[in-house]
Amino acid sequence: MAGNWKMNLFPSTAQDLVESLAVEAPKHTQVIYFPQAPFLGCLQQWNLGKAQFGAQNISSQSSGAFTGETSAELVHALGGQFTLLGHSERRTLFGETSAQLQDKIVAAWKHQLLPILCIGETLEEREDERHFEVIKNQLMESLHGLLPISADLILAYEPVWAIGTGKTASVEQAVEVHRFIRSVLNEMQVGLGETTSILYGGSVNAGNAKELFSQSDIDGGLVGGASLKIEDFRTIIQLQDECLHA
Ligand code: PGA
């Protein structure tokens, strides 16, 4: 269960949140926090329980004259174990392309970070019934050059129209796309669809978590707004943990 804090939280509030949630560590659920880059290193010092953390984005470059970027190597040196890649806010606000993400996945793997590649269609694409095509293209452009894939990779399906809008995809919509993603992955490489974890993201909250995470095709969640609130995130983690136990 990944909490994407985006450009929110100061270290003091974040420390309260993670240390309060560390008190009752879930039995089956891996919790991952994604803080703003400047205080990534703080999380290494705090009591996270069994939780882990990572970066919201990394550079595709190893090091050098790339002002404002964060290297995978530094994230790893600061104790990070994951990185989000291609979040829709990175794609729409900062022009990140699926092709660039291929290089970022390579950079993540090179420095022992587990990439969580985010994909998903906009409202317009869904209304035009182009969502399957868009998702397939995103997967092909980011992953085709990496085949055969032997390192770990996590995908997050986040319909852009559901992010921060309070509008969640219905369980049927989410499951349909997760199954489609698995079929595309299997077309690319035999078995890849089964070995890849696929998270759902987009207005996950304490009220809809159980319905979403009880689906066997949905392996976990990428949570934005609700991961900033201790009680909400605690409930979401507990619900996911119960689903994994059931
Ligand atoms: P949200 O954000 O839960 O606030 O919709 C999810 C995300 O952007 O990862």
- Of all residues in the chain, what percent carry a pLDDT higher than 70? 100
Interval 187-221: pLDDT, tens:
999 999 999 999 999 999 999 999 999 999 999 99
The total of structural domains in the chain comes to 1
In this prediction, residue 98 carries a pLDDT of: 87
Q: What is the pLDDT of residue 164?
A: 83
Per-residue confidence at 181, pLDDT binned at 50, 70, 90? very high
Distance, CA 200 to ligand 1 centroid (Å)? 10
Return the residue whose CA atom lies nearest to atom 7 of ligand 1.
224
Cα 5 to middle of ligand 1, angstroms: 9
**Of 145, 54, 66, which is closest to residue 102 (Cα–Cα)?**
145
- Identify the pLDDT of residue 133: 98
Ligand 1, CB cutoff 6 Å, lining residues: 4, 158, 163-164, 201-204, 222-226
Tens digits of residue pLDDT in 127-160: 999 999 999 999 999 999 999 999 999 999 999 9
CB under 8 Å to 226, separation ≥6 — which residues? Answer: 204, 205, 206, 232, 233, 236
Residue 242 is among the residues annotated as catalytic for this protein: no
Of 89, 96, 121, 158, the catalytic one is 158
Using CA atoms in the order 123, 127, 131, 132, what is the torsion angle rounded to 10 degrees?
160
Q: What is the residue range of 195's domain? A: 2-245
pLDDT of residue 102: 96
Q: What residues have CB less than 8 Å from 229, skipping those under 6 apart?
A: none
Unique residue bearing structure tokens 């998702």: 135
Q: Report, as an integer, the average pLDDT of 57-79.
A: 97
Q: What is the mean pLDDT of residues 89-93?
A: 95
The alpha carbon of 33 and the centre of ligand 1 are apart by a number of angstroms equal to 13
- Choose the residue to mutate in 1, 32, 204 for probing ligand 1, maximizing ligand atoms within 8 Å of C-beta: 204
* Residue 2 alpha carbon, nearest atom of ligand 1: 9
CA 80 to mean position of chain CA atoms: 14
Q: Which residues contact 17 (CB under 8 A, 6 or more apart)?
A: 9, 228, 230, 233
pLDDT of residue 167: 83
Can you tell me which atom of ligand 1 is nearest the CA of 227?
Answer: 3
Q: What average pLDDT does range 108-122 have in this prediction?
A: 97
Domain with residue 178: its CATH number is 3.20.20.70
In the predicted model, is pLDDT for residue 246 greater than 80?
Answer: no
